Amino acid sequence: MKISARNVLDATVTEVNTGAVNTEVKVQLAGGQEMVSIITNTSARYLQLRPGGDVKVVVKASNVMLGVE
């Protein structure tokens, strides 16, 4: 897989929750951090995502928001 994004992280799928239209995919990064991605059900089926499977997390964003209380 060759892509232009520089932020590509190795991860393991921990949970896959399929809804009516989208699928929530939880992954654990090598350092133990958790990330969540929302993708279409069609994409989830195409990628054959299952808990325990290895994936690449690609982060491509034009901005990152932070908040404090």
What pTM was computed for the model? 0.84
pLDDT digits (tens, 9 = 90+) for 5-16: 788 899 999 999
Least Cα distance to 15 among 2, 28, 5 occurs for: 28
Least Cα distance to 22 among 40, 1, 43 occurs for: 40
The pLDDT value given to residue 43: 96
Please say if the pLDDT value at position 44 is more than 90: yes
Domain ranges of the chain: 7-57
The pLDDT value given to residue 33: 96
pLDDT digits (tens, 9 = 90+) for 17-31: 999 999 999 999 999
Tell which CATH classification among 3.30.43.10, 1.25.40.10, 2.40.50.100, 2.10.69.10 matches the domain 7-57. Answer: 2.40.50.100
User: Residues for the chain: how many in total?
Assistant: 69
On whether the CB atoms of residues 59 and 49 are closer than 8 A, the answer is no
Q: d(Cα 25, Cα 27) in Å, to the nearest integer? A: 6
